[in-house]
Protein backbone atom coordinates (compact mmCIF):
# COMPACT_ATOMS: atom_id res chain seq x y z
CA UNK A 1 0.00 0.00 0.00
CA UNK A 2 3.07 2.22 -0.29
CA UNK A 3 1.89 4.46 -3.13
CA UNK A 4 -1.83 3.79 -3.11
CA UNK A 5 -4.36 5.47 -0.88
CA UNK A 6 -6.70 3.37 1.25
CA UNK A 7 -10.02 2.71 -0.44
CA UNK A 8 -13.44 1.25 0.31
CA UNK A 9 -13.07 -2.12 2.03
CA UNK A 10 -9.56 -1.37 3.32
CA UNK A 11 -8.99 -1.16 7.07
CA UNK A 12 -8.80 2.40 8.37
CA UNK A 13 -5.15 3.11 9.28
CA UNK A 14 -4.95 2.98 13.09
CA UNK A 15 -2.80 6.08 13.46
CA UNK A 16 -2.96 8.00 16.74
CA UNK A 17 -4.38 11.51 16.80
CA UNK A 18 -4.33 13.88 19.79
CA UNK A 19 -7.60 14.44 21.66
CA UNK A 20 -8.49 17.86 23.07
CA UNK A 21 -7.20 16.78 26.50
CA UNK A 22 -3.81 15.87 24.98
CA UNK A 23 -4.31 12.10 25.18
CA UNK A 24 -3.87 9.84 22.15
CA UNK A 25 -7.01 8.76 20.30
CA UNK A 26 -7.08 6.17 17.52
CA UNK A 27 -9.74 4.93 15.11
CA UNK A 28 -9.55 1.51 16.85
CA UNK A 29 -10.74 3.19 20.08
CA UNK A 30 -14.18 3.33 18.41
CA UNK A 31 -14.17 -0.40 17.53
CA UNK A 32 -17.47 -2.21 17.50
CA UNK A 33 -19.42 0.72 16.11
CA UNK A 34 -19.45 2.88 13.02
CA UNK A 35 -17.28 5.98 12.92
CA UNK A 36 -17.40 9.14 10.81
CA UNK A 37 -14.13 11.06 10.61
CA UNK A 38 -14.39 14.42 8.91
CA UNK A 39 -11.19 16.25 8.02
CA UNK A 40 -11.29 20.03 7.71
CA UNK A 41 -8.65 22.73 7.12
CA UNK A 42 -8.77 25.05 10.13
CA UNK A 43 -10.72 25.85 13.30
CA UNK A 44 -12.76 29.06 13.42
CA UNK A 45 -12.82 29.75 9.68
CA UNK A 46 -16.19 30.22 7.94
CA UNK A 47 -16.58 26.90 6.09
CA UNK A 48 -15.00 24.83 8.85
CA UNK A 49 -17.19 26.46 11.50
CA UNK A 50 -20.35 25.70 9.50
CA UNK A 51 -19.23 22.11 8.91
CA UNK A 52 -18.56 21.55 12.64
CA UNK A 53 -21.88 23.18 13.56
CA UNK A 54 -23.73 20.98 11.04
CA UNK A 55 -22.17 17.77 12.41
CA UNK A 56 -22.84 19.02 15.97
CA UNK A 57 -26.51 19.73 15.16
CA UNK A 58 -26.88 16.14 13.91
CA UNK A 59 -24.88 14.59 16.79
CA UNK A 60 -28.03 13.14 18.47
CA UNK A 61 -29.07 11.44 15.20
CA UNK A 62 -25.56 10.03 14.69
CA UNK A 63 -25.61 8.75 18.30
CA UNK A 64 -29.06 7.17 17.81
CA UNK A 65 -27.69 5.36 14.75
CA UNK A 66 -24.72 4.09 16.80
CA UNK A 67 -22.25 6.23 14.87
CA UNK A 68 -19.39 8.11 16.56
CA UNK A 69 -18.26 11.37 14.94
CA UNK A 70 -14.74 12.77 15.05
CA UNK A 71 -13.58 16.04 13.47
CA UNK A 72 -9.90 16.29 12.56
CA UNK A 73 -7.61 19.16 11.58
CA UNK A 74 -3.96 20.05 12.10
CA UNK A 75 -4.92 22.61 14.78
CA UNK A 76 -3.45 21.96 18.24
CA UNK A 77 -5.68 20.65 21.08
CA UNK A 78 -5.79 24.06 22.83
CA UNK A 79 -7.21 25.68 19.69
CA UNK A 80 -9.79 22.86 19.39
CA UNK A 81 -10.88 23.49 23.00
CA UNK A 82 -11.40 27.21 22.28
CA UNK A 83 -13.28 26.39 19.06
CA UNK A 84 -15.59 23.93 20.87
CA UNK A 85 -16.26 26.44 23.67
CA UNK A 86 -16.85 29.38 21.32
CA UNK A 87 -19.50 27.56 19.25
CA UNK A 88 -20.82 24.97 21.73
CA UNK A 89 -19.79 22.13 19.44
CA UNK A 90 -21.11 18.66 20.26
CA UNK A 91 -18.64 16.62 18.21
CA UNK A 92 -15.30 15.39 19.43
CA UNK A 93 -12.28 16.99 17.77
CA UNK A 94 -8.75 15.69 17.41
CA UNK A 95 -5.46 17.07 16.18
CA UNK A 96 -3.50 15.38 13.41
CA UNK A 97 -0.43 17.59 13.63
CA UNK A 98 2.22 14.88 13.29
CA UNK A 99 3.87 14.41 9.92
CA UNK A 100 2.81 11.07 8.46
CA UNK A 101 -0.47 11.22 10.40
CA UNK A 102 -3.89 9.87 9.50
CA UNK A 103 -4.67 12.68 7.04
CA UNK A 104 -1.39 11.90 5.22
CA UNK A 105 -2.16 8.17 5.14
CA UNK A 106 -5.60 8.86 3.64
CA UNK A 107 -4.29 11.40 1.13
CA UNK A 108 -6.22 14.32 2.65
CA UNK A 109 -3.08 16.36 3.49
CA UNK A 110 -2.09 17.41 0.00
CA UNK A 111 -0.78 20.21 -2.16
CA UNK A 112 -3.35 22.94 -2.75
CA UNK A 113 -3.30 26.03 -4.94
CA UNK A 114 -4.55 29.46 -3.94
CA UNK A 115 -4.08 32.43 -6.27
CA UNK A 116 -1.28 30.55 -8.02
CA UNK A 117 0.56 29.76 -4.79
CA UNK A 118 1.13 26.08 -3.97
CA UNK A 119 1.05 25.00 -0.33
CA UNK A 120 0.28 21.92 1.74
CA UNK A 121 -3.17 21.86 3.30
CA UNK A 122 -6.06 19.72 4.45
CA UNK A 123 -8.44 18.69 1.68
CA UNK A 124 -11.93 18.76 3.21
CA UNK A 125 -12.84 15.08 3.22
CA UNK A 126 -14.88 12.56 5.20
CA UNK A 127 -14.54 8.83 5.84
CA UNK A 128 -17.25 6.46 7.05
CA UNK A 129 -15.77 3.46 8.88
CA UNK A 130 -17.91 0.37 9.44
CA UNK A 131 -18.14 -1.59 12.70
CA UNK A 132 -15.33 -3.90 11.53
CA UNK A 133 -12.93 -0.95 11.14
CA UNK A 134 -13.08 -0.94 7.33
CA UNK A 135 -13.63 2.09 5.12
CA UNK A 136 -17.24 2.00 3.94
CA UNK A 137 -17.32 5.30 2.07
CA UNK A 138 -15.05 8.25 1.27
CA UNK A 139 -16.04 11.80 0.36
CA UNK A 140 -13.18 13.85 -1.10
CA UNK A 141 -13.12 17.61 -1.77
CA UNK A 142 -16.34 18.08 0.18
CA UNK A 143 -18.69 21.03 -0.24
CA UNK A 144 -20.00 21.96 3.23
CA UNK A 145 -23.67 22.67 2.42
CA UNK A 146 -25.74 19.55 3.15
CA UNK A 147 -22.67 17.36 3.69
CA UNK A 148 -23.33 16.36 7.33
CA UNK A 149 -26.89 15.27 6.45
CA UNK A 150 -25.59 13.25 3.47
CA UNK A 151 -23.04 11.52 5.71
CA UNK A 152 -25.74 10.78 8.31
CA UNK A 153 -27.97 9.20 5.65
CA UNK A 154 -25.07 7.04 4.43
CA UNK A 155 -24.13 6.04 7.98
CA UNK A 156 -27.72 5.06 8.79
CA UNK A 157 -27.83 2.90 5.66
CA UNK A 158 -24.38 1.31 6.02
- What DSSP line would sit under 108-143, residue for residue? -EEEEEETTEEEEEE--EEEEE-TTSBEEEEE-S--
Mean pLDDT confidence for 107-131: 92
Mean pLDDT confidence for 56-67: 97
- Range with lowest mean pLDDT among 83-87, 101-105, 108-112: 108-112
Q: Looking at the annotation, which residues are catalytic?
A: 48
Mean pLDDT confidence for 100-123: 92
| CATH superfamily name and code, 34-157 | Glutaredoxin (3.40.30.10)
- What average pLDDT is seen over the chain? 93
Q: What is the DSSP letter of 13?
A: P
Every domain of the chain and the residues it spans: 34-157
Q: What is the pTM of this model?
A: 0.93
Provide the 10 A C-beta neighbour count for residue 38: 26
Question: Is 2's pLDDT higher than 70?
Answer: no
φ, ψ of residue 44 in degrees (nearest 5): 60, 30
Mean pLDDT confidence for 128-144: 94
Mean pLDDT confidence for 106-123: 91
Round to whole Å and give the CA distance between 92 and 20: 8
Closest Cα partner for 143 from 153, 151, 134? 151
Question: Is 84's pLDDT higher than 70?
Answer: yes
The model's confidence at residue 158, banded by pLDDT at 50, 70 and 90, is low
Say what the pLDDT of residue 98 is. 85
Mean pLDDT confidence for 62-74: 97
The model's confidence at residue 4, banded by pLDDT at 50, 70 and 90, is low
Amino acid sequence: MANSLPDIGDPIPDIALTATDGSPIRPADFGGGKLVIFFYPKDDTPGCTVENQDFSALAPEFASAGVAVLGVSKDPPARHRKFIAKYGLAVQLASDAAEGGLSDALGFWAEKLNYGRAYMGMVRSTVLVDAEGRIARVWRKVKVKGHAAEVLAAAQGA
